[in-house]
Amino acid sequence: MDLNLESGQKLLNQVKFLHQNCAEQWPVHVKSLDVVFTSNFFEHLPDKECLMRTLQHAFRALRPGGHLVALGPNIRLVPGAYWDFWDHYLPLTERSLAEAGKLAGFTVERYLAATLPYSMSQGFQPPLLAVRLYLAMPFFWRFFGKQFLVVLRKPS
């Protein structure tokens, strides 16, 4: 799901692309999804109300026991650099997103302040093997990680 039409052109044929605002009703069946995954997305939403509506739509779409997994830049770890991207609107941390998830009805399974480096979208792109090694060594996340990880579960 994205407002950017180009996103749909980068997907495999078997992936259904939804070109729409995530805060509007999702055209998916209630309790039909196992997982909703977002990466570097929520900070681009215009306000907290839009984030809450998005979480509520995800909650409705998920099966009982389903998960919402979110990665995003942690404003606590990159306070000034967070605003270097013109389209960042919502300042979020792992704690603020976990709290929003609870308000939307989710149970918080896990949240980490630091996982991935701040931005891998510009400049140096490490080889996939280096990324796999980094992910396998959580000890290093506290030094290089600037993105939070939040895992929410819809109660059974």
Q: What is the tally of structural domains in the chain?
A: 1
CA distance 108 to 119: 25
Sheet holding 33-39, edge to edge: 33-39, 62-73, 147-153, 107-112
Q: Is 0.85 surpassed by the pTM of this model?
A: yes
Strand 33-39 versus strand 62-73 pairing type: parallel
What's the chain's length in residues? 156
Q: pLDDT tens digits, the chain, 156 residues: what are they?
A: 998 889 889 999 999 999 999 999 999 999 999 999 999 999 999 999 999 999 999 999 999 999 999 999 999 999 999 999 899 999 999 999 999 999 999 999 999 999 999 875 566 778 889 889 999 999 999 999 999 999 999 999
Which neighbouring-strand residues pair with 153?
67, 107
CA distance 7 to 99: 29
Strand 107-112 versus strand 147-153 pairing type: antiparallel
Q: Residue 106 sits in a domain of what CATH number? A: 3.40.50.150
Q: Domain range for residue 138?
A: 5-153
